[in-house]
Structure formats: C-alpha cells, structure tokens
Amino acid sequence: MTKIAHNTISSQPTLMEPARHLPIRGEYDVVVIGGGPAGLAAAASASRRGASTLLVEAYGFLGGMGTAGGVTNFAGLYGRHQGEMRQLVRGAADELLARIGALDGLNEPQDGMQGRIRVRSYDTSVYKCAADQWMLAEGVNLLFHARACSVLMDGSRVTALIVETKSGRQAIRANVFIDCSGDADVAVFAGVPYEVGDGHGSGLFPTTMFRVGHVDASKALPAVGEFRAINDVMERVQREHPGRYRFPRDGAILRPQIHSSEWRANVTQIANADGNAMNAVDATELSAGEVEGRRQIIEYFQFLREQVPGFSEARIVEIAPQIGIRETRRVQGLYALTGDDILNSGTFDDTIGINAWPMELHRSGGISWGFPSDPDRAYNDLPWRMLVPVHVQNLLIAGRCASMTHEGQSAARASGGCFVMGQAAGTAAALAGNTPMQELDVGRLQRALVEDGGLLRP
C-alpha cells in the first residue's frame, strides 16, 4: 500500500514513490537540455567538435521561446560599434540565420528606439524546420517530448539525467551536461544555488504573444508601421474613449512580419493574484497565467479591429503555444553578470562573446530600458564564468538561467546573448574531457570559438 506522508514545508500531503530500476536510454559525451537558441548553439558546437551529443526538448519542435513563446524575432545580434550598427554575434547564430533565410523565412533587419536597437524577424514554422535541418546536419541526436525530472549524482558530478517521456521514465548518461532549459531545471536538481525573479517576489513580467493576419498593409504601415507607433494610437484612443479599452501595459509592440499582411503583437503582461510578475516555476500561477494571457489577447484584438487602420478585417492566426517567459531561476555561478556590466559596457579577460542588447526591464504596467553610456561601444562582453555553476564539476548553464543579476539578465536573456553562451558551453563541453569546468583552460576555449566563427571583440 502507498503511504501518505505530510510535507511540513509546503503543508501539503505527499506520497512516497516506490524505488524502481530505470532503463538507460543512452550514453553520450554531451547532453544538452532545452532547444532554444542556447541549446541549439550548444548542441551544434559540441557535435561539430567531435562529441557525441543528445539534445533533449520538452516540445516536439525546437526554438525555445522563439517558437513555443511566439517571440518571432532575434534580438541582441546587432549593436552599435564606433557609431555604426553592426552584427556583433557571429558563429553559431550565422548558421541558423542562413538556414532560415534559405527557406525564405527571414526578414530584413528592423530598427527601433531611435536606431539604438535592431532585430531580425522570422517565420516561426520556418524556424522549426531550419533548426531540425541544422541539428541533423551537425549529427546531433534529438529526443523530443522529454522533460528533465531528476539527476543522479556521484559527489560533485552529475552521472545521469532522468527524463520523463512517452516511453516512460528513462536515464541518460553523459560526461558533461548543459542546462539550457531556461528555468535551470537540471541545475536545481543537482543542488546548485539559485535566485528567482528580482528577489522581492516579482521579476520580469511574462507576455503571451500572438500573430494577426489579413491586415491591410496599405493602411496599417502608414499608421503604425514605425516602432512603438501603436502606443500613440493607444494614448489617443484612451483620451477619446476613456474607460472603453483596458491595456495591460504601456510600451506595446506591434510589428509587421515578412509578409506585411501578418503582424506580431507583443502587448500583454501577466501578473499573479498579488500583482507581481507571474512565477513561471509555480504550476498554479503558470496555469492561471495561460488563461489570463488569452483573455488579454481577445480584449486587445477588439481594440485593433475597432481603432487601428488596416485591422478592421484582421484575424488572429496564432496564439503562442505557451506564455513567453522572460525570467525565472538564475543560478549562482563563478561570476554574475550585472546591470552595471550592461550600462558600462563591461569587458572581461575570459570573454566568450558579446551581448548587444540593452537592459529591458518588464515592470508592472510598462517597460524600462537601460542603454550603455558609451554610444560607440553599446555592448558588453559575456564572461565564461557566468556559465560555470558553483559546486558541480560537469555541468554548464547557458541562456536566460545563467549566472546573472536580475538587471543583467534583463539584457543578456535576449537571443543574441543566448547564442553566444550556448556556443561557448557546447565548445567547452567537447574540449573538457574529465576536466572540471571550474578548471577549464579559457584561452584554449577562446581560440576554439574564434576558429568556429565566433566574435570575441569587434
């Protein structure tokens, strides 16, 4: 008979799960968990360097928040250097962009914020297909519909990852594990210390993204084609029709996609019952947030059809498969990237590449931007140490859950920084052998990154 115990920490009853033998699905040199930009770059880079590599993904497709969260653009690839906007994230990112472009799924760069930012939008379906092609071309093994649920440890080393799949629970062995889950799931299972959100019960507010089709571009582009122009319309409508529409936040973003009859809408903001940012590692809040996001979309779409030129016959063509998560857990590493590093264009001897995105703090009711003070060096280095967790020898963390403060993460979480972190993590995992990550030869890693097309300094 199953025994019921009482959990004094959470005040919830618990069950004791019987011990069982788990089938070993396979053994690899490198296992990457999470198929977003960081995971894609990590897997491709490790495999290219000769490591047998498995990429584990919870969905049935790759792309992370870029596809599952409906982001639909790459941010942080471009930054201003000596007065010129240039692509500063190179290497693995170039591989993916070229494949998306070859399938006619990549838009020309779009500037915003008075020319201080530049993004590349893409077709999400094409992104999924291009990512498949890239991983298969690099010899990466793929495991879809699999969620990390535990790890096995031998001292300070992870010996196996436990995943839940449609074939049941399985174990996967590897020499090095790379946590690109976004939520630091594997790092938490391995006992790495972490923080959630801003440390005060909130964090970067998430957004449910959606796309609108059947837009009359001849009317929409002149009216709201400029970055942030939709906010002028929102302000006017609120003056003319007070109380008629409720907007989740200021700083809405409504932008055309490759075909200007289709637009992406980044306009919602999801709070919990206390008014703080929804906690995406709390199952109850996440469930409620999914419903709230769709409610906000319906309300905002009514405003688009009634008040925005070109949208009167529009239709919602997609609501993202899940809420777009900006911040949950951030691990404790050998160094935490800070807001000062972003604003002061920080440089590091152990740089692995560049973050070119400013601080983008999604706070209650709006967005606060923080740009580097030096307009000729509007970017910062990303240090190797932010990928290396304390305590665990054969684990790396790349992506939005790497070692950063709340403010630093608001910038480096963008896809550009994630590509950089992922390429460095995958390359390091292939080079490491049995060397603890805390003792890796950083100079050797940097030389390998440059050999593979990475840009450490402009």
DSSP state of 58: S
DSSP state of 1: -
Tokens of 201: 């019960």
Alpha-carbon distance of 187 to 395, in angstroms, equals: 8
Neighbours of 348 (CB within 10 A): 16
Strand pairing report for 380-383 and 168-179: unpaired
- The helices-and-strands tally (H runs, E runs) of the chain is 11, 24
Residue 104 buriedness (CB in 10 A; 0-12 / 13-18 / 19+): exposed
CA angle 340, 346, 348 (to 5 degrees): 130
Tokens of 108: 């020309």
Which residues, in sequence order, are CB contacts of 422 under 8 Å at separation 6+? 37, 38, 39, 40, 41, 42, 45, 92, 178, 180, 398, 399
Query: What's the pLDDT score for residue 2?
Result: 35
Alpha-carbon distance of 70 to 65, in angstroms, equals: 6
Query: What's the pLDDT score for residue 258?
Result: 86
Neighbours of 125 (CB within 10 A): 13
Strand pairing report for 110-112 and 117-121: antiparallel
DSSP state of 110: E
Assess contact for 169 and 163: CB atoms under 8 A: yes
Which residues, in sequence order, are CB contacts of 402 under 8 Å at separation 6+? 330, 331, 333, 337, 386, 387, 412, 421
Alpha-carbon distance of 302 to 164, in angstroms, equals: 41
Query: What's the pLDDT score for residue 304?
Result: 98
The pTM score is: 0.95
Q: What is the DSSP string of 109-140?
A: PEEETTTTEEEEEB-HHHHHHHHHHHHHHTT-
Neighbours of 374 (CB within 10 A): 12
- pLDDT of the chain, 458 residues: tens digit per residue: 333 333 444 578 999 989 999 999 999 999 999 999 999 999 999 999 999 999 999 999 999 999 999 999 999 999 999 989 999 999 999 999 999 999 999 999 999 898 999 999 999 999 999 999 999 999 999 999 999 999 999 999 999 999 999 999 999 999 999 999 999 999 999 999 999 999 899 999 999 999 999 999 999 999 999 888 999 999 999 999 999 999 999 999 999 998 899 999 999 999 999 999 999 999 999 999 999 999 999 999 999 999 999 999 999 999 999 999 999 999 999 999 999 999 999 999 999 999 999 999 999 999 999 999 999 999 999 999 999 999 999 999 999 999 999 999 999 999 999 999 999 999 999 999 999 999 999 999 999 999 999 999 99
Residue 261 buriedness (CB in 10 A; 0-12 / 13-18 / 19+): middle
Q: Which helix (H) or strand (E) holds 422?
A: helix 415-432
**What sign for the dihedral angle of Cα 339, 414, 42, 394?**
positive
Query: What's the pLDDT score for residue 10?
Result: 58
